[in-house]
């Protein structure tokens, strides 16, 4: 009940009264949760972000009239003997509520991974698009090796398609050209050209952390042996400062204030 009251009290804050919007409400809610309840939940609330690509719809009104009351009902139904025990269920409830929003820009992302390189589908969860799609990454990032070798695969699905690589399935029983990717994986679109900058961070990680990747997969996949990529493209060694600047320009606008952005950066440094 106390947590529900904090949610409702955010609507009474002076800042929200003067400028009633989703962003102001979430900022107020985050401050209250961070000060009185739990910082992890505050950070989770901060990540609820509404894009206004469709100017004709009043997303603020939809949020307050439909989503917020339902969220409060879910909170009221939850028992709170120990908040840390309740937190995963609460976050799950929030994610479930956001998953039903008609606007796909507001939903969590699809969790399907490319079966050939492991990159996650970039569509919304329950997306209307007929097939999954992604920005394909070097397959070695997902622990894929060249057939009968220990070397991690340095190419992405798109590069494999462009260089006529063949997929080896069922331990050599079937060999399939990458041009038949969509036939082998009918739930996925064919790999297509993407902006080069969209994949550069993953290429740099693959280039920079070969030893760590090899150690990771050797430790977690019993009975298999992994080694560094044999034909690492030097083009993967992108300029770190440029990558950082690009990430900052992409991510910073998604955070409501400098404090939230600083906490996000500090969280990244813990990994």
Query: Which tens digit of pLDDT belongs to each residue from 161-212?
Result: 999 999 998 777 899 999 999 999 999 999 987 667 788 999 999 999 999 9
Considering the entire predicted model, what is its pTM? 0.61
State how far the Cα of 133 lies from the Cα of 183, in Å rounded to an integer. Answer: 14
The per-residue DSSP string of 112-128 comes to: -B-TTT-PBP-SBTT-S
Residue 61 covered by a domain: yes
Q: In this predicted structure, what is the pLDDT of residue 56?
A: 41
Please state which of the ranges 6-15, 92-101, 180-189, 262-271 shows the lowest mean pLDDT.
6-15
Residue 74 covered by a domain: yes
Supply the range of the domain harboring residue 95. Answer: 2-108
Residue 132 φ then ψ, to 5°: -70, 155
Q: In this predicted structure, what is the pLDDT of residue 49?
A: 47
Q: In this predicted structure, what is the pLDDT of residue 103?
A: 58
Q: Identify which of 242, 264, 268 has the alpha carbon closest to the alpha carbon of residue 253.
A: 264
How do residues 227-246 score in pLDDT, each as one tens digit?
999 999 999 999 999 988 88
State how far the Cα of 107 lies from the Cα of 14, in Å rounded to an integer. Answer: 29
Please state which of the ranges 29-38, 53-62, 103-112 shows the lowest mean pLDDT.
53-62
Residue 181 covered by a domain: no
**Most confident by average pLDDT, 6-10, 41-45, 219-223, 226-230:** 226-230
Residue 161 covered by a domain: no
Number of domains in the chain: 1
Please state which of the ranges 91-95, 108-112, 130-134, 142-146 shows the lowest mean pLDDT.
91-95
Average pLDDT, rounded, for the chain: 77
Report CA 267 to chain centroid distance, whole Å.
Answer: 15
Residue 194 covered by a domain: no
Is the pLDDT at 57 greater than 50? The verdict is: no
**Most confident by average pLDDT, 70-74, 90-94, 113-117, 129-133:** 113-117
Residue 260 covered by a domain: no
User: How many other CB atoms are there within 10 angstroms of residue 180's CB atom?
Assistant: 12
State how far the Cα of 271 lies from the Cα of 147, in Å rounded to an integer. Answer: 32
Residue 83 covered by a domain: yes
How do residues 61-82 score in pLDDT, each as one tens digit?
555 555 666 666 665 565 555 4
Residue 252 covered by a domain: no
């Amino acid at each position: 009940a106390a947590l529900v009251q904090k949610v409702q009290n955010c609507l009474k804050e002076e800042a929200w009264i003067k400028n009633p919007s989703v962003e102001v409400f979430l900022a107020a809610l985050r401050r209250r949760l961070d000060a009185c309840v739990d910082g992890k939940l505050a950070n989770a609330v901060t990540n609820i972000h509404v894009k206004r690509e469709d100017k004709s719809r009043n997303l603020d009104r939809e949020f307050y009239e439909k989503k917020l009351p339902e969220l409060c009902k879910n909170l009221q139904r939850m028992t709170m003997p120990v908040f840390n025990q309740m937190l995963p269920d609460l976050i799950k409830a929030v994610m479930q509520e956001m998953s039903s929003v008609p606007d796909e820009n507001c939903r969590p992302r699809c969790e399907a991974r490319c079966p050939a390189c492991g990159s996650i589908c970039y569509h919304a969860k329950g997306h209307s698009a007929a097939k999954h799609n992604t920005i394909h990454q070097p397959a070695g990032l997902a622990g894929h090796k060249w057939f009968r070798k220990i070397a991690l695969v340095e190419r992405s699905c798109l590069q494999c398609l462009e260089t006529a690589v063949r997929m080896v399935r069922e331990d050599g029983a079937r060999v399939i050209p990458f041009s038949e990717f969509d036939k082998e994986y009918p739930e996925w679109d064919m790999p297509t050209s993407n902006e080069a900058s969209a994949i550069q961070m993953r290429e740099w990680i693959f280039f920079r952390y070969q030893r760590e990747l090899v150690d990771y997969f050797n430790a977690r996949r019993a009975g298999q042996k992994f080694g560094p990529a044999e034909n690492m493209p030097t083009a993967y060694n992108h300029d770190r400062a440029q990558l950082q600047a690009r990430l900052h320009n992409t991510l910073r606008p998604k955070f409501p204030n400098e404090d939230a952005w600083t906490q996000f950066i500090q969280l990244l440094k813990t990994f």
